[in-house]
Chain A
Amino acid sequence: MKNLEELRNIKERALQRRKLAGEGARARIVVAMGTTGIAAGARDTMTAILAELEKRGIGDVIVTQTGGGGLSTYEPVVQIQIGDSELVTYGNLDATRVPALIESHIINGQPVTDWLVK
């Protein structure tokens, strides 16, 4: 285990950032992590999402996973919700698409319409 003291410092800085950012999360990202999703690359997609959040220092996005998803022909499936707006669903969202997706939908608030599941 790395230094827990370091973790306490991280917590203090994270709390400061939260104060500046205000209440609530900017967005929620849900990755479908059922068997078919994992087989199609959902783990690598989620790893890429976490890497983007880490690299860009984005702290107000919640990332979760669900089992299944029931869209096996479109896997990997990722859903994004900005604030209280509607949850939108992306299909065939492999790891290579993640940087552009985060840039467009999370940073600029513009869904990437070509990758949406209709």
Chain B
Amino acid sequence: MTVFRDLSQHILDIAENGIQAGATVLHIKITEDLSPEQDTLTIAIQDNGRGMDALALARVTDPWFTTRTTRKVGLGIPFFRQTAEMCEGRFEIFSTVGQGTLTQATFRHSHIDRPPLGDVGGTILCLIVGFPDGDVVYCHDVNEKSFMLNTHEIRQVLGDDIPFSDPEVLTFLRQTLEEGEQSLAMH
């Protein structure tokens, strides 16, 4: 069962785990290598939250391992793994208690079952606004082209009084993300 339509929903879901784990910085990196030799799409989400020990890691990776009664951080990680493995990809998760978690999924870019990236700009915007006390560092590479957005720089200019949900700030963020994504699509 796959419940998400697109890969950016997975990004949001995994990033949400990091926020719940008390992260103050979220790194999200999408790397697309379209060369025929590589043909990969890699998504890496890193947080500096509480992290997990080996037992907890086994628990979140295997849906049948859990004995929990709540399902807050339940099925998102197994879904992500399943989606990657379905697309001749691989899935890795590394976590250190007190340091954070890195979740990385690689897909064969041209695989027929690979979900589209979807509305990645809108997804990052939701993350930025919904995570006002933390920094989001977003990076998207397509071959040698690169787009990066670091909300730490934006927060430094805006100060503490102006939220990311201010309408003009929303316009700024939305346009920055749209233009950044468009610049990657041009050949």
A binding-site residues for B, Cβ under 8 Å: 1-2, 4, 6-8, 10-11, 13-15, 18, 31, 33-36, 38-39, 43-44, 46-47, 50, 53-59, 61-65, 67-68, 70
Contacts and interface: CB of A to CB of B under 8 A. Distances in A.
Centre residue among B161, B163, B171, B179 by max chain A CB count within 10 A: B163
A10 B172 contact: yes
A59 B167 contact: yes
A15 B126 contact: no
A26 to B, nearest CB: 12
Interface string B144-187: 00001110011001110111011111111011100100000000
B161 A63 contact: no
A59 B74 CA distance: 35
Contact of A53 (B123, B165, B175): B165
B130 A63 contact: yes
Interface size class of B (residues with CB under 8 A): 35 or more
A43 B126 contact: yes
Contact of B174 (A8, A54, A62): A54
Closest 9 CB pairs of A and B: A65-B130, A39-B3, A68-B72, A47-B122, A35-B76, A54-B170, A67-B20, A2-B176, A10-B168
A24 to B, nearest CB: 12
Contacts of A44: 119, 122
A56 B74 contact: no
Interface of B: 3-4, 8-9, 12-13, 16-17, 19-20, 70-76, 79, 119, 122-123, 125-126, 129-132, 148-150, 153-154, 157-159, 161-163, 165-172, 174-176, 179
Contacts of A6: 172
Nearest to B79: A35
A38 B168 contact: no
Contacts of A2: 172, 175-176, 179
A1 B149 contact: yes
A11 B153 contact: no
Centre residue among B159, B161, B166, B174 by max chain A CB count within 10 A: B166
A22 to B, nearest CB: 14
Contacts of B71: 35-36, 68
B16 A59 contact: no
Contact of A57 (B9, B158, B167, B179): B167
